[in-house]
Structure 1
Amino acid sequence: MYLKRLRSLRIKAGLKQTDIAEILGIQQTVYSRYERGFQTIPLNFLIKLADFYNTSTDYILNLTNEINPH
């Protein structure tokens, strides 16, 4: 499930949920719901995070195991 990838990418980058929430312009509690699967992440946030982590939305969505896009 992509939720594990969101958390994994954040931890690998050495960031806290509050850091990512600030990047997205939302509250930490909202971002926490995305990671825990209690709320669906909006497409614009998904794209923004893929750009931020230099990966693809396919990787975050667990559609590929290739972390780096072409």
Structure 2
Amino acid sequence: MFAKRLKILRKDLKLTQSELGKNLNLSQRAISSYENGLRFPDEQILNSFADYFDVSVDYLLGRTNIKNIYKNYD
């Protein structure tokens, strides 16, 4: 689920893998590996993705379909 959600979030922002990698100090190859399910990020990188896309880690992992529970209370 993580790989699919990462790719969707990136494409929603119209970013290339290289652009996302540059923004998060990761290589294009790393982003590609995450999106293709070949690698899984460590806790720090997972949190970086969540912060960057303003979603919860639970959303990235497929544990919920709510992107960010705190936005629902604004």
TM over 0.5: yes
Distance 2:42 2:24 in 1: 11
- In structure 2, stretches of 5+ residues that fail to align are none
- Over the matched positions of the two proteins, sequence identity in percent amounts to 34
How much does 1:52 deviate?
0.9
Bigger CA radius of gyration:
2
The residue that corresponds to 2:38 in the other structure is 38
Alignment of 1:1-70 (within 5 A): 1-70=1-70
| Paired AA for residue 39 in structure 1 | R
Q: TM-score, normalised by structure 2?
A: 0.86
CA deviation profile, 1:13-69 (whole Å, cap 9, x unmatched): 111101111122121011100110111112111101111111100001000000123
- Count of aligned pairs: 70
Question: Counting helix residues as a fraction of each chain, which structure ranks higher?
Answer: 2
Q: TM-score, normalised by structure 1?
A: 0.91
- Structure 1 segments (4+ residues) deviating >2 Å: none
CA RMSD of aligned residues (A): 1.0
Which structure is richer in relative contact order (CA contacts within 8 A, separation 6 or more)?
Answer: 1
- In structure 1, stretches of 5+ residues that fail to align are none
Distance 1:32 1:42 in 2: 15
